[in-house]
Amino acid sequence: MRKKLFAFRLWSRLVPFLVSLWFGSCKVSFSGVSVQPDVKTIRIDQFANEAPLSVPNLAQVMSDAVRERFINQSRLSLVPAGGDLVLTATITQYQILAQNITSGNTAAQNRLTLTARVKFQNTRYPDQGWEENFTTFTDFPADRDLGQLQTELNQELCNRMAQDIFNKALSDW
């Protein structure tokens, strides 16, 4: 009986240890970033802002968010001219609409929507280029002043869109 108990205790400690060793030695990546080895640079032009309703620094905030995403999540170097990859974009819509209308015909929430037309070129592999509209939005309480929330909401929208653009440009899934 003692031998069985000893063997059980030994195996109950040894097996988890071996399993953790095995999993600990595995390298798993979920980033999904797929860049050819000879592609080393990216140029991200300053975004243009052609939205009818506009915020003065929105194009700069958006451009910075996209640049930051590519610098921090890829091995690409940002260059001011040329570039193996080239990304240009125009903000085409910045819109606030009432959402969740209550019985008294007042809005419970507002929706801030940002849309940009993005063109991506791969100068080394031209067939991998594309042009696409990206849209993202966030809702905020209608009783809150947009002026007080705008900086935070704009940053949130720009960060989301930057991730969407990054995923489309460099993900292989």
Q: Is 32 left (phi over 0), alpha (psi -120 to 50) or beta?
A: left
Is residue 98 pLDDT above 60, yes or no? yes
Ranking 28-42, 68-82, 85-99, 150-164 by mean pLDDT, the lowest is 28-42
- pTM for this prediction: 0.78
Structural domain including 105 reads 34-170
Please indicate whether residue 162 or residue 28 has the higher confidence score (pLDDT). 162
Return d(Cα 161, Cα 34) in angstroms, integer.
19
Q: Tell whether 76 is covered by a domain.
A: yes
**Average pLDDT over the chain, rounded to whole?**
84
Q: Tell whether 133 is covered by a domain.
A: yes
Is residue 150 pLDDT above 80, yes or no? yes
Report the number of distinct structural domains present in the chain.
1
Tens-place pLDDT, residues 8-59: 554 555 455 444 434 443 333 334 577 889 999 999 999 999 999 989 999 9
Q: Tell whether 51 is covered by a domain.
A: yes
Closest CA to 140 of 110, 173, 101: 110
15: its two tokens: 């097996």
Whether 86 and 51 have beta carbons less than 8 Å apart is answered as: no
* CATH number, position 133: 3.30.160.150
